Amino acid sequence: MKSPRKAAVVAVLTASVLAASGSAAVAAPAAYDTSSDEEAQLQELYEQAVAEGGDLVIYAGGDKPGQADYLRDAFEEKFPEINANVIVDFSKNHDARIDNQVAEGKVVADVAHLQTIDDFPRWKSEGVLEQYRPVGWDHVYDEVKDPDGYYTGVFFFAFSNVTATALGSDAPVEAEDFLKPEFKDKLVFTYPNDDDAVLYYFKQLTDEYGFDYLEKLLEQNPTFVRGTQDSADLVGTDEYVASFGTSGGTEGLAQQTYPEESPWVAWPQTAGILKEAPHPAAAKLYMSWLLSSDAQQNDIGTWSVRDDVAPPAGTSGIFDYPNMDPLGLGEFMSDRTALERYKARIRLYVGDVQGVNPSDPDDVLGLYPIDQQGTQGA
């Protein structure tokens, strides 16, 4: 996945989502048709954002610099007078960063979209978030938005299998397939004790198949790395042929597939505007653009959170997979005590996390970053 993750996601969703399972594909999304009402609202917000100064700082959960540039680029193409800075870091780092900024009274971020779904109800109760219902609000699934308008899912991310294209029909699909002897020394995974979505992936597997499954998987002598993009990028190289609990893959070398029976993970990446955002008008424009039918159809590269946007070609609706609950991760994360207990148990099996933070390899982001290079805003 050397190119932005969005491009890889588009490729796998349109070409290989169901290739391994043999399931029938649903109809392709209907042609995009932006409502004039949405466009008029966006243009009004754009004028306000330009008058405000045209700057915007977005904290995006991820594990590689540049991972969310596809969103920034699409946004700036539509609104060229806005300078949007997207800072990618682990969600667990960004939420701590936001907590610190709020506590210190030095908020420099405007918008955050993160994997840490459980942060948003807490921030709402603490008065950290701005109440705002963006363009398209009425079409967002009720299950992924705050009824009072403080936060909402903005798109669905999904982690499943990434396998080398060279394997062809021999690629592993179901969890048990990864235990085949031919894959010994050739598997690579993200540390589950470093990413809560990966942790939940492992939790589902051990719930379904027991810790015996994990012990057998470890007998395969897999390699563990930090970051889901790094694990996906390694698949298809000379050393590694498969992973799960990740997404994308390097084009031409690897593909993402989805099991029919084994559990996998998808969740609504959740976003909100900070109440003390330095650029509230630009923040409202960004959130409204991101939830607009235009962006949800053409720019996010994955399942939409809107009920009037069809799923990507070749896929089912996000709530229609019997072996995947898109609300499960949020429920798992809402019980931090149980999560931390499971994480501690997993660490006994896979060991302590090793390696630098792949989203900030030079350790430059610090407390108040306003760009990926670590420029401090306070």
Domains and CATH numbers, the chain: 36-157+268-318 (3.40.190.10)
pLDDT at 136: 96
**Burial grade of 32 (CB within 10 A; 0-12, 13-18, 19 or more):** exposed
pLDDT at 16: 39
CA torsion 318-320-323-326 (nearest 10°) is 30
pLDDT above 70 as % of the chain: 91
- The answer on pLDDT for 9 being more than 70 is no
- The answer on pLDDT for 25 being more than 60 is no
CA 104 to chain centroid, in Å, comes to 28
- The answer on pLDDT for 26 being more than 90 is no
- The answer on pLDDT for 14 being more than 80 is no
pLDDT in tens, 301-329: 999 999 999 999 999 999 999 999 999 99
Mention every residue, 6+ apart, whose C-beta is less than 8 A from residue 113. Answer: 58, 59, 60, 61, 154, 269, 270, 271, 290
pLDDT at 24: 35
- The answer on pLDDT for 15 being more than 80 is no
Question: What predicted TM-score, i.e. pTM, was given to this entire model?
Answer: 0.91
Model confidence band, residue 344 (pLDDT cutoffs 50, 70, 90): very high
In Å, how far are 106, 129, 137, 276 from 367, measured between CA atoms?
A: 10, 19, 32, 16
pLDDT in tens, 28-85: 334 334 567 999 999 999 999 999 999 999 999 999 999 999 999 999 999 999 999 9
Q: What is the mean pLDDT of residues 183-190?
A: 98
Tell me 171's DSSP state.
S
- The answer on pLDDT for 1 being more than 60 is no
pLDDT at 36: 79
Between 129 and 20, the higher pLDDT residue? 129
pLDDT at 11: 45
pLDDT at 5: 52
pLDDT in tens, 222-232: 999 999 999 99
